[in-house]
Structure 1
């Protein structure tokens, strides 16, 4: 008889253990073992966080172990989270089989050993058949669905309970997500406000009723300085939506601003045309909101949208200052394009800036945040599951960066952006506007716009001073790209290997043809360099870009006058007709303020047991060169973190959203 020692590792998550019967079959290069019941005493079976050793005896040697089959039969019909299996042969050779999956009753799971292999490297029928069967099974589980016309494709599931088990929230995470929202309403004392849904605030100071409940140094600084033009301009660089500012070399035809209007704001003694030519003029253009019908789900409250231009000036002190705002976009001949200026009366200029910030809030939520991180990451995730076998090195590379993404997006479709969902309660782009804006945004979404350096270059902001989003983002992009490059070089010895990798080609094709075809996403990859860039986009989008536009929401949006989620009066068409009463009747009422604060609080929270960029506790890779590459990656990220911490010590407003120690691995909130 020959004895193989099998170690079975159970996860530490809530409810990870099981007392169901688990059967194991070992498949070697020479033969298979009998189906063996891994049976300890009833209450010691596969307890949470344990490693259970079991001996499997066979009459003849099995050869090198290449597959492990696990089958779970009902006792209590619970689920079991298996971390990994290791098998030690009679000769002392060890074979590791990563699992990191939930296994339901009456289900069989067949695991490959941990050595990563490209599809053409499997030489036996046994392994080829396993690979093909695995992908066919996944393609049945991960089906594409068009949730709304013109949206990126999403998972074919109507509720979280319909999701494949491997991508559902774990029990503690699901509770955490729901509790965050309840905690927000309790901590912020918002439940009382919801009962006064359509009651307006009387004065700006009244927003302190909720703001003072929970504040932090950033939100408090915003509250104290939000009226000042320097703070308004600063947010285009390092606020929660730092992607709207672009260099302006020529004014849009519809923008009626003139030299005479802005000459008092230009401090270098140059004309507007000279400042444009010198590269000191920037613009934030919200054209995407033009013609969009504002949220009309509440028949008792009319809501409004505008599509403003905001002209910004880099002054001689390197501050970004607003110098002109136009809220309408009619042709110049119509003579209706009122341009608001810093020299206007206090209420006119304040309300004009509020309108810009309200437009910015709505574009941030639907385009910068939802579309360009959540929905695109879901496309990458589904394509990965459909086209890459678990043994593929790119699957192993990406799996930490897709954790909970499908689950959080499914929850969003159920509760946030669904008909009569939470977004409809407080955002002017709720209702049909949500679909309109995403459909329009898809026409500007391109693959190159998701490559961080390309996005910075296309907006002409490479030399903008004090642009920490850009500076930190470039450092993180380069660190991710370097890590991806190291891994790609380990497994792809040439460009030809990329070209003949059927799974990687199917992966990029699935991404392209599942809602991204018109976005100029590649439908094939021909070089290692192209593969590195593509995978860097996937990882950077899910980690750094999402962190940059998500976790500052409470910091920048909690003082509601600074970023109103909706406006309840139309934008002023003329100057001199706005007073404080008009301003307050324009801002969100008490009920909408409560929804606004509750949601941004919940979305801004890190989760318990968060895994940050470069933290890979699950050992999908077993190759030493990859472990060294991951170690170097963490070293580079630590260097970036230290650079950011050192810089932040000298800033009144520290920028930390792209500090690697605060960037979760995946879109999970």
Structure 2
């Protein structure tokens, strides 16, 4: 008999080895096997969640290509999680088997491939058949479902029905629940009475910040300067929603701003048209909200247009605001020269509309829902041994689970979002469907998206500057990985799994004519994977983790408005403004929600982290090291720049970019 040394690393559920029986069998390339060996809990070390034991075989198995794990129920069925397995042969050869899977069923069997990634065309006929069976089984588990008409597809399962491999682990689940309990739990809400009452004055909004620790000075700066034009304009560049601003090439026909209206605020001595031609005029247009009714009689919604001016100090300042898409006597154009309260309220209306578009389109649709499509397609079409499956897995971690939570608690009918915003239910569907019409693959390519908005040369646009560095770092890393496994463009074309993955994503986007259905070159594949990783990591970080900084001071970005927009100038006073802002209950829920959404997990995995032996091949490990080094360089560049800024921008610092959409 020959002896093979086996080391299993596991966690999360140790009791399974005593309540159930776990068996292991080694398999070679000809499907010859070792003895079936019982995995016993008694072999755990005192501090390590590892099991080491010997496995016997009647003859030399040569290269170990597969490990079979079996779980048999005794009295109570316990789930069992295997991280990875290492095997040492009698000839001193080592084989690694990354697993990261649950054994859930009462009598379940799984077969784990040796960790070296393989393209489907490079496998033996036996292994190809196993891959096909694996994916056939996965497609039964990961089924497409259209949660709302016109939305991207999501998983056909509720929170408690999710496949075990995509559920929150216990630590993440506890962390998530504690944050939301603290943020919007009864004990916090009970401290404030008169939920549907207005606040008396702006200073009252400070009261609801007392339970939240301000980690840096950014929110303090917002609280101090929120009503100033420079702070209003700055947020279009580096706030929560830095994708609405674009260069104004021509004034829209429905926005009749004349030069004499703004002449006093154009500091270069040029006319409005000359400033437009010079590239100094920008615009933010919320026409996506036009005609969308507010969610209730206590909420109001409008679709403003805001003209912005880049002055000689390279500040972006509001120049003119129209609170609807229909010009006329009942839709005046508000100007900086108007009285203080008219101008203050006009800016609040813009920011309230921006809040709603940010949450539904920029955040929910273009990071959360899109990333879920990528994740489902990955599980459906890429075998666990496929190198791209291994590459993408850290970047889809917990995304299906967080979206399932959101569908049940945040964006459901009667969910948190409907209680704090102006849009819910059918209105939400209408906005998402409109956004889907302009959602294209190209719009997810960061450099192309910046160029499409004419924002290549905007000074102090840190979202663009840092985003470009991250995009280039990811693309360089992904290109290196692609070249390791694909020796030619033809290899990409022959990879049936990657081609089916791309086709399935196109289907899942519910927008198939605007997404590629195949990839022909290594360059195309690298760009495609860069889109997946950038969207899940950097783009989500940029539009998520600043929410408490920018929305924590309610007057700066009201989640809803309780009075209709003014139809005349000179009718607004401070009482009208206070009665327009969210009431006490809505303000508290909004603040708690954005605080919870802005928190990192305790053991967050940040960009560049590929844990748990995802890759076993040395060339890829070297590429990961190079990637991390580049990200460290970017982090240091951003840190040095921020030391010179009053308002630092850190949302795209790699050390603050989680790997995936998980909150």
TM-score, normalised via structure 2 length: 0.97
Query: Which residue does the alignment assign to 1:178?
Result: 177
Query: Which residue does the alignment assign to 1:655?
Result: 649
Q: Deviations over 1:533-582 (max 9, x none)?
A: 10000000000000000000000000000000000100111100111111
Q: Deviations over 1:172-198 (max 9, x none)?
A: 2111111101122469943333x5321
Q: Give, in whole Å, the separation in 2 of the partners of 1:359 and 1:188.
A: 31
Give the 5 Å matches for 1:309-328. 309-328=305-324
**What is the aligned counterpart of 1:367 among 323, 339, 361?**
361
**What is the aligned counterpart of 2:194 among 182, 193, 196?**
196
Is the CA contact 1:16–1:81 (under 8 Å) kept in the aligned structure 2?
no
Query: Which residue does the alignment assign to 1:628?
Result: 622
Q: Any idea what SS the aligned residue of 1:304 has?
A: coil
Q: Give, in whole Å, the separation in 2 of the partners of 1:240 and 1:45.
A: 47
Query: Which residue does the alignment assign to 1:272?
Result: 272
User: 1:82/1:415 Cα in 2 relative to 1: closer, same or farther (>3 Å)?
Assistant: same
Q: Deviations over 1:451-502 (max 9, x none)?
A: 0000000000111010000000000000000000000000111111111110
Q: Give, in whole Å, the separation in 1 of the partners of 2:525 and 2:260.
A: 52
Deviation at 1:364, TM superposition (A): 0.4
Aligned length: 658
User: 1:46/1:29 Cα in 2 relative to 1: closer, same or farther (>3 Å)?
Assistant: farther
Q: Any idea what SS the aligned residue of 1:497 has?
A: helix
Deviation at 1:340, TM superposition (A): 0.2
Q: Any idea what SS the aligned residue of 1:282 has?
A: strand
Q: Any idea what SS the aligned residue of 2:562 has?
A: coil
Q: Deviations over 1:25-57 (max 9, x none)?
A: 2111244225523243x6556988422111111
Task: Point out where structure 2 has 5 or more consecutive residues left out of the alignment.
Answer: none
Deviation at 1:431, TM superposition (A): 2.9
Is the CA contact 1:17–1:46 (under 8 Å) kept in the aligned structure 2?
no
Q: Any idea what SS the aligned residue of 1:443 has?
A: helix
Is the CA contact 1:492–1:498 (under 8 Å) kept in the aligned structure 2?
yes
Give the 5 Å matches for 1:40-119. 40=40, 43-44=42-43, 49-75=48-74, 76-105=76-105, 106-119=107-120
Q: Give, in whole Å, the separation in 2 of the partners of 1:450 and 1:628.
A: 28
Is the CA contact 1:10–1:16 (under 8 Å) kept in the aligned structure 2?
no
Query: Which residue does the alignment assign to 1:382?
Result: 376
Is the CA contact 2:43–2:53 (under 8 Å) kept in the aligned structure 1?
no
User: 1:603/1:187 Cα in 2 relative to 1: closer, same or farther (>3 Å)?
Assistant: farther
Deviation at 1:104, TM superposition (A): 1.5
Note if 1:349 corresponds to 2:343. yes
Query: Which residue does the alignment assign to 1:470?
Result: 464
Deviation at 1:74, TM superposition (A): 2.0
Query: Which residue does the alignment assign to 1:526?
Result: 520
Is the CA contact 2:24–2:39 (under 8 Å) kept in the aligned structure 1?
no
Query: Which residue does the alignment assign to 1:417?
Result: 411
Q: Give, in whole Å, the separation in 1 of the partners of 2:142 and 2:387.
A: 20
Give the 5 Å matches for 1:247-326. 247-296=247-296, 301-326=297-322
User: 1:46/1:133 Cα in 2 relative to 1: closer, same or farther (>3 Å)?
Assistant: farther
Query: Which residue does the alignment assign to 1:542?
Result: 536
Q: Give, in whole Å, the separation in 2 of the partners of 1:363 and 1:15.
A: 46
Query: Which residue does the alignment assign to 2:613?
Result: 619
Query: Which residue does the alignment assign to 2:121?
Result: 120
Give the 5 Å matches for 1:567-646. 567-646=561-640
**What is the aligned counterpart of 2:325 among 323, 329, 332?**
329
Is the CA contact 1:292–1:437 (under 8 Å) kept in the aligned structure 2?
yes
Q: Give, in whole Å, the separation in 2 of the partners of 1:48 and 1:253.
A: 70
Is the CA contact 2:25–2:37 (under 8 Å) kept in the aligned structure 1?
no
Q: Give, in whole Å, the separation in 1 of the partners of 2:234 and 2:210.
A: 23
Q: Give, in whole Å, the separation in 2 of the partners of 1:277 and 1:187.
A: 55
Is the CA contact 1:557–1:600 (under 8 Å) kept in the aligned structure 2?
yes
Deviation at 1:81, TM superposition (A): 1.6
Deviation at 1:217, TM superposition (A): 1.2
Is the CA contact 1:247–1:282 (under 8 Å) kept in the aligned structure 2?
yes
Q: Give, in whole Å, the separation in 2 of the partners of 1:9 and 1:229.
A: 57
Q: Give, in whole Å, the separation in 2 of the partners of 1:151 and 1:244.
A: 21
User: 1:35/1:425 Cα in 2 relative to 1: closer, same or farther (>3 Å)?
Assistant: farther
Q: Any idea what SS the aligned residue of 1:38 has?
A: strand
Q: Any idea what SS the aligned residue of 2:378 has?
A: helix
Q: Give, in whole Å, the separation in 1 of the partners of 2:227 and 2:139.
A: 53
Q: Give, in whole Å, the separation in 2 of the partners of 1:239 and 1:29.
A: 55
Q: Any idea what SS the aligned residue of 1:84 has?
A: strand
Deviation at 1:339, TM superposition (A): 0.3
Q: Give, in whole Å, the separation in 1 of the partners of 2:206 and 2:5.
A: 64
Q: Deviations over 1:370-394 (max 9, x none)?
A: 0000000000000000000011110
Deviation at 1:160, TM superposition (A): 1.2
**What is the aligned counterpart of 1:452 among 446, 453, 462?**
446
Q: Any idea what SS the aligned residue of 1:635 has?
A: helix
Deviation at 1:337, TM superposition (A): 3.3
Is the CA contact 1:17–1:47 (under 8 Å) kept in the aligned structure 2?
no
Deviation at 1:107, TM superposition (A): 1.7
Is the CA contact 2:15–2:78 (under 8 Å) kept in the aligned structure 1?
no
Give the 5 Å matches for 1:115-154. 115-123=116-124, 125-154=125-154
Is the CA contact 1:4–1:88 (under 8 Å) kept in the aligned structure 2?
yes
Deviation at 1:398, TM superposition (A): 0.3
Q: Deviations over 1:192-250 (max 9, x none)?
A: 33x53211111111111112432341111100000000000000011111111100010
Q: Give, in whole Å, the separation in 2 of the partners of 1:145 and 1:302.
A: 33
User: 1:242/1:555 Cα in 2 relative to 1: closer, same or farther (>3 Å)?
Assistant: same
Task: Point out where structure 1 has 5 or more consecutive residues left out of the alignment.
Answer: none
Q: Any idea what SS the aligned residue of 2:205 has?
A: helix
Q: Deviations over 1:570-629 (max 9, x none)?
A: 011110011111111110000101110111010000001100000111212111100000
TM-score, normalised via structure 1 length: 0.96
Q: CA RMSD in A?
A: 1.7
Is the CA contact 1:293–1:432 (under 8 Å) kept in the aligned structure 2?
no
Deviating more after overlay: 128-137 vs 656-665: 128-137
Q: Deviations over 1:427-463 (max 9, x none)?
A: 1012322111111111111111100000000000111
User: 1:73/1:625 Cα in 2 relative to 1: closer, same or farther (>3 Å)?
Assistant: same
User: 1:102/1:635 Cα in 2 relative to 1: closer, same or farther (>3 Å)?
Assistant: same
User: 1:86/1:98 Cα in 2 relative to 1: closer, same or farther (>3 Å)?
Assistant: same
Q: Give, in whole Å, the separation in 2 of the partners of 1:541 and 1:36.
A: 44
User: 1:191/1:256 Cα in 2 relative to 1: closer, same or farther (>3 Å)?
Assistant: farther
Q: Give, in whole Å, the separation in 1 of the partners of 2:285 and 2:13.
A: 47
Deviating more after overlay: 423-432 vs 309-318: 423-432
Q: Give, in whole Å, the separation in 2 of the partners of 1:381 and 1:338.
A: 47
